[in-house]
Structure 1
Amino acid sequence: MHVLQGLLQDELPIINDRLARETRELPELVRAVAEHVLMAGGKRLRPLLAILFFRCVSRGTGERVLSASSSLLSSSGESDIYPLACSMEFLHSATLLHDDILDGSDLRRGRTTAHLVYGKTETILAGDVLLALANRLVAEYGDARLSWRVAEAIMRTVSGEIQELEWIKCPTLSQEHYLEIITGKTAYLIQAACHCGALAAGGDEQAAQAALDYGINLGVAFQLTDDALDYSAKAEVAGKPVGNDLREGKLTLPLICYLEILPEAERRETLAWVRALGAAADPGALSAQDTARHGRVVQAVRDAGCVEETRSRAARYIVLAEKALTSLPECPERVALQEALQHTLHREK
């Protein structure tokens, strides 16, 4: 992981500085909410992917300029990838602000969620501002393909979230439906970051397709790993309670795999209990009886090997993502993209 780590050390300060610079220009209350989620940490995966694909594909095209009409050029005439990269983090942060309200979450990255600090209405509107800011940053490149890709990713992400909310109301043991949901709510934004980086570098159809294939498969693997960690990570490491998805009535792959091995009567009864958790007036707040049962189910999912099965499924998508890189130039950025796959698969938070 030494190439990826080296690039992270170089790029993270620049990314964080750009994020802070854009955030400082926001109205005071919006700025406070944005800083609350942005400065709480985070992997900066999406901006980093945009930068890595931009540089990797640039090595094959020899182009570092987006277009003659782009106003985002450095003094050397090279395109400035950082506003585009940071737009991906603003999009992601907006979804986090909205998601935490929908899920009734108390913690995000080990901190009290923004809506509990600043209020739900203020947080929703701040998320809307971040969406608008991200779109403005992308629009300034003057490339309709970038704007289209970002708009498509937003639509798909929101559609995935809506599908998940509907599924919580009426959960079924459908792994296919579950994969469709996580592809929508997580993978398309990661795919957009990769694709925008390749497009910004002037990549041809083959490079653009590599970015699309890598991004979608990494995105699914990332969410599968996240769902596995929800049942296995320690709360102090993950920055949120263990079994948080179950507490909110979410049926993710570890739980689906566990339910599939139960006798039919027990499966139906447990599924009804999960549905009741999702329908609770105060998501995440459990009675003493439900809290005890929650702990037993989390442990049962672990003991049944369902966490390992979920990680094994994630590994299959990692293989597909790695295959997509074979058409790209051999360079440090490609190595870093390969290392990012392994980091995703084996991460502990």
Structure 2
Amino acid sequence: MAVVTNLDTKRRKSGDDPLDALAALVADELKAVNDVIISRMHSPVELIPQLAGYIVAGGGKRLRPILTLAAAQLCGYKGDRQKPLAACVEFIHTATLLHDDVVDESDLRRGRASANAVFGNKASVLVGDFLFARAFQVMVEDGSLDVLRILSNASAVISEGEVLQLTTTNDTETSEEAYLEVIRAKTAELFAAACRIGAVVAERPHAEEEALRAYGLNLGIAFQLVDDVLDYSAVQARLGKTIGDDFREGKITLPVVLAFRRGDEEERTFWRRTMEEMDQQEGDLERAIEIMNRHNALRDSVERARHYGAVARDSLGLFASSPVKRALLDVIDFVVNRDF
């Protein structure tokens, strides 16, 4: 099967993970966040903590709450408000994962059975709703209207992004602009909010709040762009899912948009058959990857991610040099240069 080649990036040594380095800088606070997550998942309805705990325990590296903690540290904040708010960010993210897997009819989440595959669609949707409600309880307890405005707006935008993605699924005429609108809403908005509230709790000037918002937004766009490339190039053990899930679901991501735009009529007929009509046959995924590579669709999607990574890097320019700033900059490289 064809894969994207290494794009002149330096291989990191085993264990040399910028996200781990950033997490280490906020390790004590992250432990407190995990404690909040566990305590606030409690419910007398037994299925709720059981299902919520299943997906939270199987989660990734807590990137979004780590960004909240790191942003607050970057702004010199010495209080504790960032801890429950970081947990709030994780609840919002987890709720969207539960809903996503139901909508996408996914059976796997990071290499193991998805919550909906184990507990059923109805339970997954309802527990996702519970986590959204918990997140809003935490926001209200914080007492800041600014925090409530930022995170509630992010929740609404994420939902809009999910609905917008439904309108682009199976539509090979989707433009790059429409695709970017989806990932800005669906993925990048929560990154932006997670970073922005770090400045809000620290009561920093508006310029710093906007700088962190821009950092998170552009990091989130880069993250999703690379994620969409990896769906056509990485192994299941690394991704936690089988290759070509987006293809099989008819999701129109940037590699498809570019390959369709650059292809000849025979290739466009292939995309219409496989992505619009969902008439997929054995070998179609391999052909899709071959067409993408022929037209540099995967490589150029990564280049788009590098552009947004550069914008994220520039956004931190007004902050003084510090270990946490250097770690936040390194995370950009980690996101963009994930192995292909």
Report the TM-score when normalising by structure 2. 0.89
Whole-Å separation in 1 of the counterparts to 2:322 and 2:247: 42
| 1:120 aligned residue | 121
| 2:328 aligned residue | 337
| 2:302 aligned residue | 311
Q: 1:164-205 CA deviation, whole Å, 9 max, x = no partner?
A: 101115341411111111111100011010111110111111
Q: 1:139-185 CA deviation, whole Å, 9 max, x = no partner?
A: 11110010011111111111111111011153414111111111111
Whole-Å separation in 1 of the counterparts to 2:269 and 2:89: 41
| 1:93 aligned residue | 94
Aligned residues of 1:57 and 1:329 also touching (Cα < 8 A): no
Whole-Å separation in 2 of the counterparts to 1:224 and 1:130: 27
Whole-Å separation in 2 of the counterparts to 1:163 and 1:171: 15
| Unmatched tracts of structure 2, length 5 or more | 1-15
Q: How does 1:145-164 map to 2 (within 5 A)?
A: 145-164=146-165
> More deviation in 239-248 or 162-171?
162-171
| 2:133 aligned residue | 132
Whole-Å separation in 2 of the counterparts to 1:263 and 1:305: 14
Whole-Å separation in 1 of the counterparts to 2:216 and 2:329: 12
Whole-Å separation in 1 of the counterparts to 2:254 and 2:159: 20
Q: How does 1:162-181 map to 2 (within 5 A)?
A: 162-181=163-182
| 2:10 aligned residue | none
Whole-Å separation in 2 of the counterparts to 1:315 and 1:217: 10
Q: CA deviation at 1:57?
A: 1.0
Q: CA deviation at 1:308?
A: 1.5
| 1:41 aligned residue | 59
2:281 alignment partner, SS class = helix
Q: CA deviation at 1:265?
A: 4.3
2:154 alignment partner, SS class = helix
Q: CA deviation at 1:256?
A: 1.5
RMSD value, Cα:
1.9
Whole-Å separation in 2 of the counterparts to 1:259 and 1:161: 23
Whole-Å separation in 1 of the counterparts to 2:80 and 2:35: 18
| 2:206 aligned residue | 205
| 1:257 aligned residue | 258
Q: CA deviation at 1:261?
A: 2.2
Match of 1:31 among 38, 49, 53: 49
Are residues 104 and 3 of structure 1, via their aligned partners in 2, closer, same or farther at CA, if it must alter by over 3 Å?
Answer: closer
Q: 1:48-107 CA deviation, whole Å, 9 max, x = no partner?
A: 01011111112xxxx54xxxxxxxxxxxxx333211011111100000000001011110
Whole-Å separation in 1 of the counterparts to 2:98 and 2:198: 25
Q: CA deviation at 1:347?
A: 2.1
Whole-Å separation in 2 of the counterparts to 1:112 and 1:127: 17
Q: CA deviation at 1:26?
A: 6.2
Q: CA deviation at 1:236?
A: 1.7
| 1:297 aligned residue | 288
> More deviation in 328-337 or 118-127?
328-337
Q: CA deviation at 1:298?
A: 2.6
> More deviation in 8-17 or 22-31?
8-17
Aligned residues of 2:51 and 2:124 also touching (Cα < 8 A): yes
> More deviation in 92-101 or 35-44?
35-44
Taking only the aligned residue pairs, the percentage that are identical comes to 34
Which amino acid in structure 2 is aligned with residue 347 of structure 1?
R
Which amino acid in structure 1 is aligned with residue 186 of structure 2?
K
Match of 1:8 among 23, 28, 31: 23
| Unmatched tracts of structure 1, length 5 or more | 65-77, 278-286
Are residues 290 and 3 of structure 1, via their aligned partners in 2, closer, same or farther at CA, if it must alter by over 3 Å?
Answer: closer
Q: 1:24-58 CA deviation, whole Å, 9 max, x = no partner?
A: 35631011111111101312111001011111112
> More deviation in 317-326 or 8-17?
8-17
